[in-house]
Amino acid sequence: MYARRRRMYFAMMGTCIGMFVLAWAVVRLWSVPAAVGMCLFAMVIPPAAAIVANRRGPEDRWWDDPSGDEESDKWWDELDGKPKR
């Protein structure tokens, strides 16, 4: 799952950089408003890429991992209604 999220993040960020470069190297020669529009759209991609990269799937069980602190783990297990270890 991590590899898929990482690939998606880099694809989105590559698209963002590509749009900025394309907008100001090529598109501005024909239409400055179109180049500005492309940059505004590209500006929205990085926050979306961060959300995609940090999203957890249903099979990611990070909240169930023990913290390493015996007392804290017992306390959380009690709150979650899990049987004692």
What 3-state DSSP class applies to 16? Answer: helix
Residue-range domain boundaries for the chain: 2-57
What is the pLDDT confidence band of residue 71, given thresholds at 50, 70 and 90? Answer: confident
The better pLDDT of the pair 59, 19 is held by: 19
What one-character-per-residue DSSP string does 17-72 give?
A: HHHHHHHHHTGGGT-HHHHHHHHHHHHHHHHHHHHHHH---TT--GGGS--S-HHH
If you average pLDDT over residues 20-26, what whole number do you get? 95
Mean pLDDT within 14-39: 95
For the record, the structure tokens of 23 come out as 């907008």
- Tokens found for residue 81: 């209604």
The pTM for the full model equals 0.65
